[in-house]
Each structure stands twice: as C-alpha cells, then as structure tokens.
C-alpha cells in the first residue's frame, strides 16, 4: 500500500470528530513549535548579550591592569632616580 492509499483509507475510516481533533492538535503543536523557536532565539540572544557583557568587563579589567602597570613603571622610575641621586650624593 502506498502513502496515498494509506491516507485515503485512514481518512475514510476516521470520523469527522477525529479529523477535527487531529487538526486542532496539529495547530496546537505548530503553535508550540513557534513558541519554542522564540524561546530558543531569546535564549541565544541573552547568551550573546551575556558574552558581550563579559567581554566588556574583561576589557575594563585589562585597561585597569594596564593603568596599574603604567603607574608602577612610573613609580619604579621615580624610585630609581631617587636612589641614583642619593648615591651620587
């Protein structure tokens, strides 16, 4: 039995209530699929935003560390100059 014959036989044996129920069920499932796709898209967007926020935070930390390094280099230079002056004395 091919697919068309199977469907014809199935439809001829099903009551109108059964066909209506199957159609309603199909609509409900289609709406559920649409909803789940929106949920997945929202989760993906939220994940991307969180990743972006994490990247921004890490870049801010790096900038802070760079500023600390620059300050320590300057302080080190000042201390070396001070020690050199005192040794020349």
Return the half-sphere exposure (C-beta side, CA atoms, 13 A cut-off) of residue 15: 3
pLDDT at 63 over 90: yes
15-22 mean pLDDT? 79
pLDDT at 16 over 90: no
Integer Cα distance of 28 and 61 in angstroms: 49
pLDDT at 20 over 90: no
Q: Are 47 and 55 in contact (CB under 8 A)?
A: no
Tokens of 54: 């994490």
């Amino acid at each position: 039995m091919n697919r068309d014959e199977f469907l014809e036989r199935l439809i001829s044996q099903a009551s109108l209530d059964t066909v209506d129920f199957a159609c309603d069920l199909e609509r409900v499932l289609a709406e559920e699929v649409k909803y789940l796709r929106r949920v997945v898209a929202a989760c993906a967007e939220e994940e991307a935003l969180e990743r972006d926020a994490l990247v921004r935070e890490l870049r801010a930390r790096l900038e802070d560390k760079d500023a600390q390094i620059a300050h320590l280099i300057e302080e080190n230079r000042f201390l070396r100059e001070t020690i050199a002056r005192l040794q020349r004395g």
